[in-house]
Amino acid sequence: MDTFISRSPADTVAFGVKLGSMARQGWVIGVTGDLGAGKTQLVKGIAESLGIRERIPSPTFALVIEHRGGRWPLFHLDLYRLETMAQILAAGLEDFLFSGEGLTVIEWYERWQGPAPAQLCRVTLRATSETERLIEYHAPCP
């Protein structure tokens, strides 16, 4: 496990750029952290690294937002509103974990209780102050 200390939203975006630029097609990045921890900020950086220029809204209500037009498609999922595996499966989100196409990033990944994707990179963000975030990441993340 490695750690990175982010001292601003921009730092977290920059960390996302680094992570995204190391990612391979088919990776799933599973992100954990409370509301406001910076998960969506991280995804903004990942999108930037793929050359995606459009805005990156939170998929809290949409559940999944697909961004095309970058190096690969980015599938941005948010499981916050789905409390059980049955709900996640009923929403049809399982394919995004196993399609092998593009890059899938999942906020509230810990809600997924099924088999782990083959290429899973896990990232945890924790607010340690108003502006500081402790970011932990696990192999095969860079």
Ligand X SMILES: Nc1ncnc2c1ncn2[C@@H]1O[C@H](COP(=O)(O)OP(=O)(O)O)[C@@H](O)[C@H]1O
Among 14, 26, 58, 65, binds Mg ion (CB under 5 A): 58
- Residue 118 interacts with ligand X (CB under 6 A): yes or no: no
Among 83, 95, 131, 139, binds ligand X (CB under 6 A): 131
- Residue 41 interacts with ligand X (CB under 6 A): yes or no: yes
d(CA 101, CA 124): 24
Residue among 74, 60, 67 nearest 111 (CA): 60
- Residue 11 interacts with ligand X (CB under 6 A): yes or no: yes
Least distance between Mg ion and beta carbon 39 (Å): 4
- Residue 49 interacts with Mg ion (CB under 5 A): yes or no: no
Those residues whose C-beta lies under 8 Å from the C-beta of residue 120, and which sit 6 or more positions away, are: 27, 28, 29, 30, 140
- Residue 74 interacts with ligand X (CB under 6 A): yes or no: no
The two tokens of residue 35 are: 């509301």
Query: Binds 128, which of Mg ion, ligand X, none (CB < 5 to 8 A, cut-off by type)?
Result: none
- For β-strands 64-67 and 2-6, DSSP reports them as unpaired
